Structures are given as C-alpha cells and as structure tokens.
Structure 1
C-alpha cells in the first residue's frame, strides 16, 4: 500500500469520526434544548380597577290578594280581593319615589319604589306588605317583602291540583319591556308550557298567569322565571279551598339562586305536625335539584337549640323532578330546616295552622346569607318574630337597630345555633351582623300564618377590571 493510499484512508476515517461526533453532539444539543426550559418573556396586560357609578335602587311589591273565577260568565277573570298595606323606606331616611304598577285586566296593581344614589352611594331600600282576605272563595293572611327585580328567579310552592287557584305574578318596574320564559318542573321533569313562552311584560305593569294554565294537575310544581330585556319581580299567590271552604292564602316570594345549602328559618308550627292521626301532613319540605341528581341531608332544629330534632334524613333527588318530604312529629314552636345537597338545589317549607275552616298556611322560602348591614321592613299583622341562624362554630353578635330612632339592641347568637326575638309591626330595622348569618321573619296569629326571609343589602358597587 502506497503512502498516498494510507493518507487518503486516514483522512477519510478522520472525517467519518468527526462527522459522527458532530452528529452525536447535535442530537445531544437538540434533546437538551427540548428538555431544558427556555427563558420566556411574559407581559401582563395593562388593567385598571374601576368602580362603576352606582345605579338607582328599585324594588317591587306583590300587591293585593287576587281572586280568579268570581265572574261566572268569564271564569278566567281576575279581580282584586283584598288590598295590600305597605310599609317602606330607606336606610338614610331620605325616602324613595313611589310608583303604582298596573295589573293587566285588573287595574291598579302593586307598588314599586325607586331611590336614586345619594352622595355617590347606592341607597339601601326596603318595604313589605300584608293583606287579609275573608271571603267565601279566599281567606287568610299574606305577608311578603318587596324585592329587587331579577333576570332569573325560582318560585317554589303552590299547586295546580283540584282546589288550588294559584297565580304567577310578574311585575316589571323598569322603563323597557321584558320578555319572560316560564319553565315548570314537575313529575315529568322540566317543561316549557305554551302559556309560559315569550311573555311580554310592559314597563310599569304586572301580569297574572294562572298556574293551572301552565301545569294543570301538577301537585308539586317549581317554576323557573327567566327574563331578557329587563329584570322582573316574580312571585306566586297560593290559595286552597277544601270542600268549598277556603283553607288559606299566601304570597310566595322568589328564590334568587340555587345553592348546595339552603336554610329555611322562622318556620312556626302551631299544632303537632302529623302525629295526631290526621290524614294530611301539616309540615312539608319541597325540594328540587334542577340539573343533576343529588343526595341531600335534611336537618330540623328548634329555635334556641343547637342539636337537631331527631336524626337528619337522607333523600335522593332526581334531576329536574321535585320531591316532597313530610316533617312529622314537630311540637308547637319555631324551627329551622337546613338542606345540604351534593348539587345546587332550591327548596321551601309548607306549614299550615290546621285543615279546618279558619285555618291558614304559609310557604317559607330560604334565607340568604347576610354579611353586610341590611335593611328590612315588618308589615302590619300579627306580631313579627325575627329568627337568626348562626352557622359558624363561634358565637356571633348581631345588632338590630330601629331606623325610626328606637333603642338598638345586640343579640348574641350561639355557635351553630339560633335565636328568636319579637319586633314591632310596621317598622324598619337595620340588621348588622359581625359574622355571616341567616334571618327570617315569621307571623303567627289566630287564623294567620306567614314567613318572609331577610335578604342582604345589594347596594355595594363591586370593582371591575378594565383592560384599556
């Protein structure tokens, strides 16, 4: 072999070795580049916190008690059976503008109140009303709070079975029309009945929709009210007749949200519940899980006590189908019913003073959590009782102050307990808790029963994030 061939072979081998080494180094470099994080440049978008100008505070009442079918030539005609007496005001004492809505085909309807912002702050406003009917087709006492209109709300209560003459009330205190969709949940799940589709509620009016026209024969309905264009105030007038004898009336307020935990307080039991051989129950809990099946636990607690009455009851809720649970064996007194579910639910408790002539019933709806000073009103009628529930493990002090200048008083609510105190009728009070609580008003008298939850003030304007 010549020196030239040896030199060429050596040169070629060296090139192969160098090429192989470079390839290996390239692979190692690529693998390393993939596995090792590269430096990144993150730039947060420019944002500014801004507080919107507060809007006017608006609330609408339910109005007087209505009767359907008094005109034998027009069975669907609705007439005013008893006017509503309303007490209202603002936290700052500045008052609010009063407006009377027009009830379709009836005439003058419920009152609405509007308070513009003052000194750059929204105004806390509250009102409540009461009505008494004593006629052959309608009798009983009804009390309800005037509420701010909502884009979505739930009505839990009433019936469309024989003997019931329930009415869905839709009020629009705003200045533009609202279009409302009613979804009825019953034994067959959610339904959109023709009579509840695209209902136009003109500004400044209240529309009355018979519940039987939405779900004829349904014994345990729950109604979801959805509005576009403008928020509306929805409520339900429930009444019952047994063998031509009126057996009570109530105005059932809306539930604003579904929640995994619902607390219904101030339930007044006037007679032993379901333990005297009566053929009908006197205390019944109605529940609905609108979307998902859910296991739920029901706990009943007497006012002033922390331990429950009996063992909690476990129930299974089908999605979209209401369920009722009789709460038997309750001695006369005041109670709180708590519902803890695996999915968001709505609920209400039906309570009656009895099943004979001269008796009345009430639907008690959940009490939302109150964390800020909140104004509420007590209407005329039986002496109101305020029940306050403390869900925390520490005692909570709640200040209750009459707005008219009366003497304030502090209430210490025990941990995981409740307390009840009597208030004056036709008055305004400020509820100021040091920790989150739930509260409700109850009214009980001779042939009269009603309950109204205390809602938190909705006057704080939250900050929003603006991206320029």
Structure 2
C-alpha cells in the first residue's frame, strides 16, 4: 500500500460530506449527482508537516530581518572620510585702480551753440595717496566730452604693490573738487575716486525746466563694456530707445544727457549695469532758476538696495537764507530739503525715517511714509532747522535712497549772493580699516555713524598725500598721531578733517562714513567706500 492510500478503517472514520441528495417516501435516494472523476489527492500527514515547517521558517526569517534593521539603528557602524588633496595659495597682490570723475561738464559751448555736444568746464583738483607711496596717473584716452579750457578725460589712479613688502595689500584713495563760475554754471562739487563695478544705482538729478542731468560712464579697462540703463521716475519705469546695449570703448568715457531718454521728469533714479569691461558711473546735475545759477553737483553711486539705509551726513546751511530764496526765486520746487526713495521690487511698504541732529540737545525727528513699489518718491522735509543730520531709513523691502538740500547766503543788501545744492548718497558699511582722501576746497567734516548696540572706538591716522601735479604734502606725512574717539550706540561722530589730507579710519566695529563740505553758500558731499579688495588666499583642489 502506498503512502497516499487509506485503509478501510481510516476511510470509514472520515466524515461524510453533504451531497445535496434527498430521499423519497420509499426511502429511495433521489437527486444524487452523477459520479465525477477527480484529480485531487488528499494531503498526507508528511506533506502537512513539511508545509508547516516552511511557514515557521518564513516567519522566523522575517523576524530576523526586522531585528537586523532595527539593530542597525543602534549599532555604530564603521565609517571613513576622505579629504581631497588641496593647497592654500596666496596670490601676489595686484595693482589697485581708481577712477576720478574728471572736470565738470555742460551741454553747448560758451556761445550756446552745439547744444547737443558736451564740453568741459574748467579743471578739477585731485588729491590722492597710496600706502606704497607711488601712484601712477593716466587719462582716459577717448571721451564724448570736448575739451574746453582744459583736458576733458577723467583721471585714472593706479598703485602697484610695494616691492619691499609684496605680500601686503595696497591702500589707494583719492578725491577731487572743483569750483566753477561760468555763465549759468556756478557752484562747488566734490567727489570720491572710485573702483569700477558692474552694477550701480544713481539717485538724484532732474530734467525739468532749468535742470540738466548728465550720465557719465567711464571704462578704464582694456575690454569694451556694454551698458544697460533702467530709468525710473515719479510715474514708474521710463521706456525709451537707446537705453540698452550702450558700448563704452576700452579706456573710454560716454557722456549721455538724461533728458534724451526722459525729458521733463523731476525725480529720476538710474540703474546702471555693465558686462565685459567694468565701469564707474556718476550723475552731474546743474540748476538754473530763471536767470540765476542754482549750483552744480556730481552724484556718485548710492548703496545698492537694502532694508536698512544710512545717510551719515545731511547738511542744512542756513534756514533763513533758504526761506528768503523760496520767496524771491522762481521754480523753487527743489529748494526744500527732501529724501528720494525707490523700491525696485514689486511689494509696496511703509518706510521708517529717523533724522538725528548733530546738536545732541535736539530730539531726533521720526516719521513713517507709505511708499509704492516701482515709482520714485521725493519726501520733502519742511522747515528743517540749520545744522547737520544723520538719516536712517528702515524698510521691510529693499530700498535705494539719497537726500538733497540747498544752501544760500544772504547778501548785505538783503538779496541772495550765492546758492548751491548737494546730494547725500547712502553709504555702504565699512567693516575693516579704510583709507580715504578729503577733497580740497571748502571746510570738510567727517561723518561716522555707529549703527550698533554697543560703543565703537575709532581712530583717525593721518598719512602723506599727493596732489595732481605729483608733489607731496610733507606736513601731513609727518603727522602720524592718532586721534581716538568713542561713538556711542546709535550715535554719529562729526569731526573736522583737513582739506586735501589722506586719513586711515581705524574702527572696532561696523560704521557708515561720508565727507561733507560747506562754506560761503556752497555745498557738496560724497560717501566713503570700503577698501578695494586685495588678494585673498585661495584653496586650490587639483
């Protein structure tokens, strides 16, 4: 008998499955299904045992795998890290280079002819200094401006590393100034010499009646630069032909009239971007009120869009004279002190303004203003008392800003004997010791804002300086004594500085700095930029 066959006794003991058949009254079986053949074979005890063993083994295997996964989360596995080979390379410091704006410019010649041609007005005086002592001077080789009584091209300053200490960064700074009194152009303008860049925001100027604003684009590099201009005004973006793809040749300057792109606007902001060779960009504005000259100014780039903006020094020279000018002159809409702001994004916001007087006995002036995005807003500040102010602007959205004030002098006969104006740009933060040069001319004041919550200690160290003809100022070079000051949290230091001198500002924390110059009814200002980056160590991976 095979393993799959049952004995008669085993078969009899099996339960009977119901078949669905029924019995009739005679006890005969009815409805019984016909017998069918089947291939199903009953499962033996040995097969059932084998299946059970496999099931138990599978359950155990799953349990072991789960235990291994859980155990791996608690057992620290061996690991290894590989550090790629590298080498720290310290480049040799390269020559530093700055570009000075050059002489003041005007449209038309002395007779008023050639109204679309740019001519120079006199000659700027440039002061500069380098930590290596030697400064190379050169002129831009090509300019749109035609020479008048002097050279037209901007000045380029270069300082090579010190041969005795080639591992030290070169410090180079410069500033220029110019007084002019030619026809409708009467005033004083000073400006810092700046490093090139690819992105600049110019806040200032106007092209309304009697207001002329020129855009200067200077490329001191050996590569042509392609410049695009975005112009915004009190109505929004200005659509004008010719604002894109402006080619500035290598070692060249382009001078463009803003009125050629946007005539009759009172509140322009110009965003300048360049590709290829990098450039410096400035605005030059002049004002004529009726038949009276209203001043000139060179406006450098302001701080790029930021949520916290500082204008370290805004000067009101004589409120009484300004009120007299408003009562006698025509077209006095820009005589009142004003702050110009622009939100380049898409979200409007509320700006918070704080004007802190230099006179500590006077309380700060605080106010807020709702400002729309995409349009330029001039915020006039009526009856601003005579004195100097630091301006802080806080915003939830990035903003660019600058401020404008007018100066005037009352003559002995009661009339206005002189008038000028200045634009005060927002200063970038200085985080390291910085060398700067004070322009010659009017009395100068250094403005240093401490934006932090703790005191800042600053020192002014005098250094030798050089004028444009190459002669040295030995008196300044001999004076190396440090003047130390402590600036309280949130306060501003205002200290007179000698005209034409180069100084190094040593400070213990972040500050914002500008130079303002005023006297005899004339006024100008410029901000101090961070030191031009030197050669930083580089990690090289093969």
Q: Distance in 2 between matches of 1:345 and 1:206?
A: 29
Identify the residue that residue 189 of structure 1 maps to in structure 2.
236
Identify the residue that residue 319 of structure 1 maps to in structure 2.
373
Identify the residue that residue 21 of structure 1 maps to in structure 2.
59
Tell me the TM-score normalized by structure 1: 0.90
| 2:364 equivalent to 1:309 | yes
Identify the residue that residue 82 of structure 1 maps to in structure 2.
122
Change (3 A) 1:266 1:235: same
Q: Distance in 2 between matches of 1:46 and 1:316?
A: 55
Deviation larger for 288-297 or 38-47: 38-47
Identify the residue that residue 64 of structure 1 maps to in structure 2.
103
Q: Distance in 1 between matches of 2:121 and 2:376?
A: 31
Identify the residue that residue 339 of structure 1 maps to in structure 2.
393
What's the CA shift string for 1:146-169, capped at 9, x where partnerless? 111111111110012222111001
Tell me the TM-score normalized by structure 2: 0.79
Which stretches of structure 1, 4 residues or more, deviate above 6 A after TM superposition?
Answer: 33-38, 273-279
Q: What's the CA shift for 1:196? A: 2.3
Identify the residue that residue 115 of structure 1 maps to in structure 2.
159
| 2:445 equivalent to 1:405 | no
| 2:444 equivalent to 1:384 | yes
The secondary structure found in structure 2 opposite 1:196 is coil
Q: Unaligned 5+ residue runs, structure 1?
A: none
The secondary structure found in structure 2 opposite 1:212 is helix
Q: Unaligned 5+ residue runs, structure 2?
A: 1-5, 11-41, 410-415, 464-476
Q: Distance in 2 between matches of 1:158 and 1:344?
A: 21
| 2:170 equivalent to 1:130 | no
The secondary structure found in structure 1 opposite 2:443 is coil
Given that 1:304 and 1:418 are in contact with CA atoms closer than 8 Å, whether structure 2 keeps it comes out as: no
Identify the residue that residue 415 of structure 1 maps to in structure 2.
489
Change (3 A) 1:463 1:134: same
Change (3 A) 1:123 1:9: closer
Identify the residue that residue 11 of structure 1 maps to in structure 2.
49
Given that 2:207 and 2:266 are in contact with CA atoms closer than 8 Å, whether structure 1 keeps it comes out as: yes
Given that 1:349 and 1:364 are in contact with CA atoms closer than 8 Å, whether structure 2 keeps it comes out as: yes
Q: What's the CA shift for 1:385? A: 1.0
**Root-mean-square deviation (Å):** 2.9
What pairs up with 1:405-444 in 2 under 5 angstroms? 405-406=478-479, 407-444=481-518
Q: Distance in 2 between matches of 1:32 and 1:291?
A: 52
The secondary structure found in structure 2 opposite 1:53 is coil
What pairs up with 1:115-194 in 2 under 5 angstroms? 115-118=159-162, 119-191=166-238, 193-194=240-241
Identify the residue that residue 97 of structure 1 maps to in structure 2.
136
Given that 1:195 and 1:213 are in contact with CA atoms closer than 8 Å, whether structure 2 keeps it comes out as: no
Q: Distance in 2 between matches of 1:36 and 1:192?
A: 66
| 2:330 equivalent to 1:248 | no
Given that 2:307 and 2:398 are in contact with CA atoms closer than 8 Å, whether structure 1 keeps it comes out as: yes
Out of 353, 356, 361, the position equivalent to 2:421 is 361
Given that 1:180 and 1:228 are in contact with CA atoms closer than 8 Å, whether structure 2 keeps it comes out as: yes
Change (3 A) 1:34 1:272: farther
Structure number with greater Rg is 2
Q: What's the CA shift for 1:136? A: 2.4
The secondary structure found in structure 2 opposite 1:457 is coil
Q: Distance in 2 between matches of 1:187 and 1:31?
A: 67
Q: What's the CA shift for 1:425? A: 1.0
Q: How many residues are paired up?
A: 466
What's the CA shift string for 1:164-222, capped at 9, x where partnerless? 11100111112222111111122343446323211111222221010111222222111
Identify the residue that residue 221 of structure 1 maps to in structure 2.
268
